[in-house]
Structure 1
Amino acid sequence: MTKSLKYLFFILLLGVVVFLVYQFRFYFQPPQPNIISSKEVILERLEKVNKLITLEAYYSEVKDYSDYYYYDISLLRKKALVRVKAKVSIGYDFKDINMVADESTKTVTIKGFPDPEILSIDHDIDYYDITEGTFNSFTTSDYNKLNADAKDFIRTTAEENETIFKEASEKKDELIDMFSWMLQAAGWELKVSSNNQDVKKLENSY
């Protein structure tokens, strides 16, 4: 890679860092107290991160869970009150993005700029008012199912919220504009396309 290309990619990397700092400043929320049992944290693997979070949505939900065998009587019934608190991170996965720099035309082309998506869901579950019947008690499988159902519920709720994805898209435009401005300052031009779209030349008035 030539020195000019290395310099160019350094500029883009710096832009990502600046953008992340900007997001942290305006979207950081102080942590809320949670009822958490003791945990053992195990590092299973390390992976390169090619994702950018542009929005975080916070959810809180209280659900009733009830289950019984044959007849809904105390001996055969188990129930619990479940509180779910979750943070949904929305942003962009750049693993398939294609960036090409042409030194002859001083042009950087970004193809396949992704659409915003849910990158991760961090959730905690608290159990209250657990009642078990003599012949029907909670098992490890029950708790695992409650945990999985809670995460699926949060994911579905977030996916149906058009507002948060619209805001994430607006942040994408800000990021692209910032890249374009930085490249223009270095004498380069930026062209970008979203998924399944033709490449378009970006023009701004900086």
Structure 2
Amino acid sequence: MDFLTTVLLLLVGAGGGVALANTLRKRTGITDVRRDSVLLLERIEKVFKVVMAEGYFSEIYNYQDQKKILYVLNDPKKAMVIAKSKVLVGFDFAKVRFHAPDNGEKKLVIEFFPQPEVLSIDTDYKFYDIQAGILNHFSGADYTQILDEAKKAMNERAMQSDLPKIANNQIQYMMYQLASSMGWQLQLPEAEQRKLDALKAQAEEATKNQSQLLTGQ
């Protein structure tokens, strides 16, 4: 076998191998996809935030933007977003102001206690019915604006629900129980103290009723 024949056989073999590899790749659906990500840590902060209530919400958000071509023809674009969120409501204890009496009395006086707030919103967004205009197309900034507005609407809906009230009741009763277990007396601001006293009365009544049911009286 001469040199030319050997080269031809090698080329044919190599070509056949490439063709076979391509065929197998197409049949198995294997694609070579590479993704790169970079994680940037901006800062770490110490916080003292306590979650007292958790709620789940679904929201349908309709976005529409009207744009005129040559100030005459409408060129609208619109999209519908379905958002499902888990909302955590609680308190930032860094905002609490309190003191203990100088006479050594086991009493914790709360001078100021913050209102409940949304601590986090974990949302899953899905876009439906996206319709771009002829010249009025969607940009990355448009999608960012839509998600920001949908998240803002979810925040407002959560604060208008029963979550803040539930969180308030939870934190006050928890603080009362914790102070009592350590032999301390808890004194809240007047308005909050009335709420706490009402909660304590309800808890005592519920315990009394449960005891009567167990004893059959």
Q: The TM-score by the shorter chain falls in which range?
A: 0.5 to 0.7
In the superposition, relative to structure 1, how do residues 198 and 133 fare at CA in structure 2: closer, same or farther (>3 Å)? closer
Deviation at 1:144? 1.6
Deviation at 1:146? 0.5
Deviation at 1:174? 2.1
In the superposition, relative to structure 1, how do residues 106 and 133 fare at CA in structure 2: closer, same or farther (>3 Å)? closer
**Greater share of helix residues, 1 or 2?**
2
Q: Which residue in the other structure is 2:173 paired with?
A: 174
**Partner Cα separation in structure 2 for residue 133 and residue 119 of structure 1:** 38
Q: Which residue in the other structure is 1:64 paired with?
A: 62
Q: Which residue in the other structure is 2:92 paired with?
A: 93
Deviation at 1:52? 0.7
- Between the two proteins, the alignment pairs up a number of residues equal to 159
| Matched residue type, 1:56 | E
CA RMSD of aligned residues (A): 3.1
In the superposition, relative to structure 1, how do residues 88 and 40 fare at CA in structure 2: closer, same or farther (>3 Å)? farther
| Matched residue type, 2:67 | Y
**Partner Cα separation in structure 2 for residue 57 and residue 136 of structure 1:** 37
**Partner Cα separation in structure 2 for residue 191 and residue 160 of structure 1:** 29
**Greater share of strand residues, 1 or 2?**
1
Deviations 1:68-112 (A, max 9, x none): 32244xxx2322221112222111111122343457323333331
Q: Is the contact made by 2:65 and 2:76 (CA closer than 8 Å) also made in structure 1?
A: yes
Point out which structure has higher relative CO (alpha carbons under 8 A, 6+ apart): 1
Q: Which residue in the other structure is 1:156 paired with?
A: 156
Unaligned runs of 5+ in 1: 1-37
Aligned-partner SS, 2:182? helix
In the superposition, relative to structure 1, how do residues 69 and 94 fare at CA in structure 2: closer, same or farther (>3 Å)? same
| Matched residue type, 2:118 | I
Q: Scaled by the length of structure 2, what TM-score is found?
A: 0.61
| Matched residue type, 1:107 | K
Q: Which residue in the other structure is 2:123 paired with?
A: 123
Q: Scaled by the length of structure 1, what TM-score is found?
A: 0.64
**Partner Cα separation in structure 2 for residue 62 and residue 55 of structure 1:** 23
Q: Is the contact made by 2:176 and 2:186 (CA closer than 8 Å) also made in structure 1?
A: no
